[in-house]
Amino acid sequence: MLGEDDPSRKDDGKMPGVDEINIKFEKLMKYRGISANDRRRKVLMQKSLEEKWKLIQIHQKTMFEQENSFKITGAPEYYVHVLKEAPTRESITELCKMLKTKPEEWVKKFLDLDGLSIIFAVLVTTSEAQAEKNRQYKEITAPEVKVEKKPDPVDELIVKDSDDEDSDSDEAGTAETPSSPTTTEMDTVTETSQAKMSKVQAPSDPLDLLQAECIKAFRTLMNTPVGMQAFIKSKDKSCEMIARLLDSENLKTKTQIFFLLSTICVNSEEGFWLSLDAVNAYKLMKREKVRFQSIIQSLKTREYNDDIIMLIISTLMFFNALLTSSIDASSKKQLKLEFTELGLLSICDTLKNDDIDDTIMIQIATLEDEMLEVDDDEAEDSINDHLDALDNPTEILKLIRLQLSGTNAFTHFVSILHLFLVISSKSNEKEKTNNMSTLANIIKQAINVDSDGKVEEISVKELQLQDRVSNQQKKNHTSRR
């Protein structure tokens, strides 16, 4: 390999032979992606042997530094290597400090080395490890179920006959041998065992602290332009990872992810859409009919402990982040409508009655304020009236994206936009106008608005029937002439 020799090693000061230099120079150009048809190849091949050898030495030095940079503490490559091989809380804490204090070039290099995906991978791996530990812990601490065996009539007869023949020996044996425990005694032992086991607490898991540091690293990246751009650039992969973590059995992991989504959401408009796309990915993974279904369903639990309380807090905080950072009034109303249809306010009433935590009460109060604000805005006008009044193309597109994202319909919507893009690229203004007018008429024909203003879809068969009737009417009109 071209870069496998250590350039720091002392040589005899002489250049290699012509053949060796040419072979290494060919490898250098191949590594740099310079093909036989590349114009640069002709220029490079015309260089003298001394110039070629100098370029080879520079390349060898660069390759050696890259291959060994993970050994240099403080380099981006070092943290990527540590996170891949043996991530620890301490190493991720150090990484957070570096992300805060190092220049943007350092952060960009870390992200170029796929640092974002590696942090996600640490979260997923540790979450799965915790889930496996929890399953093993439940198996160990699960109380043994005692099944009372019904007496066999044949066995009873055999025992009775044996007792009649050897009554004396049985009496002596009874005095020496303890009797078997009765059903009542077994139940008492089982209850005592269960009571003891209920006091046994699962040991604290250091992976919880490691995951918390990973979330801090994400938040730190969110505060940098290159970090946010990295999230958006790898949106599909990031959303897939977040969805997997939201599906974790570990409540602490899910809590950390909701805190992270809250941070991303309030960061910018791009962060808002990224958070929503993550929820959409989770919806598809869970095969839900509507988004937020499983998330809101998890708030219905009445068995409270510290982990569940923190999960409720983080979930409500995420909902509030979505509502307060909504990009426009229409998008905000759409989210409120989805929350209302899933019964979020009713669940909040139950949580208020249980009065389990002050922070939960604060988050509920914020959520209710937002919901009531929408109710006031819509007191006079219906949602359909509001939609009819929309005339800002950007706002309309954002609202459609919000309504369709997370569904198969969104893919068809994007395809339609691509077709519109083809039509709008026409240079002739008259042709553009005619095409758009034609499309508008086609869409109008696909829906029917009754006298009450209700929109009804018209099937393809109905459209075909209308076309036939229209054509027949034209023929009749022509024949009369």
Q: pLDDT (tens digit, 9 = 90+) per residue, 25-39?
A: 888 888 777 888 888
Q: Is residue 200 part of a domain?
A: no
**Structurally, how many domains does the chain consist of?**
3
pLDDT at 359 over 90: yes
Q: Is residue 367 part of a domain?
A: yes
- 374 shares a domain with 238: yes
Q: Between 4 and 242, whose confidence is greater?
A: 242
Please, which pLDDT band fits residue 110 given cuts at 50, 70 and 90? very high
pLDDT at 5 over 60: no
Lowest mean pLDDT among 107-111, 233-237, 419-423: 419-423
Q: Is residue 135 part of a domain?
A: no
Lowest mean pLDDT among 135-149, 269-283, 410-424: 135-149
- 467 shares a domain with 382: no
- 463 shares a domain with 325: no
Task: State mean pLDDT over 402-411.
Answer: 70
- 376 shares a domain with 243: yes
Q: Is residue 83 part of a domain?
A: no
Whole-number percent of the chain with pLDDT over 90: 21
- 377 shares a domain with 466: no
Q: pLDDT (tens digit, 9 = 90+) per residue, 443-480?
A: 766 666 555 555 555 555 565 666 666 776 667 666 66
Q: Is residue 297 part of a domain?
A: yes
Structural domain boundaries, residue 55: 18-71
Task: State mean pLDDT over 198-203.
Answer: 41
- 375 shares a domain with 450: no
Count of Cβ atoms closer than 10 Å to residue 480 Cβ? 6
Q: Give the side-chain half-sphere CA count within 13 A for 157.
A: 2
Q: Between 20 and 442, whose confidence is greater?
A: 20
Q: Between 392 and 251, whose confidence is greater?
A: 251
Q: Between 327 and 128, whose confidence is greater?
A: 128
Task: State mean pLDDT over 306-324.
Answer: 94
pTM above 0.75, yes or no: no
Task: State mean pLDDT over 424-453.
Answer: 69
- 370 shares a domain with 251: yes
- 453 shares a domain with 334: no
- 456 shares a domain with 385: no
Please, which pLDDT band fits residue 367 given cuts at 50, 70 and 90? very high
Q: Is residue 379 part of a domain?
A: yes
Which domain-ending residue is among 348, 363, 389?
389
pLDDT at 95 over 90: yes
277-to-187, 311, 348, 415 alpha-carbon distances in Å: 52, 20, 25, 18
Nearest 10 degrees: Cα torsion 184, 190, 194, 196: 100
The pLDDT assigned to 72 comes to 62
The pLDDT assigned to 211 comes to 87
Q: Is residue 427 part of a domain?
A: no
Q: Is residue 157 part of a domain?
A: no
Q: Between 448 and 378, whose confidence is greater?
A: 448
Q: pLDDT (tens digit, 9 = 90+) per residue, 329-339?
A: 888 888 999 99
- 453 shares a domain with 335: no
> CATH number, domain at 275?
1.25.10.10
The pLDDT assigned to 10 comes to 43
- 369 shares a domain with 250: yes
- 372 shares a domain with 239: yes
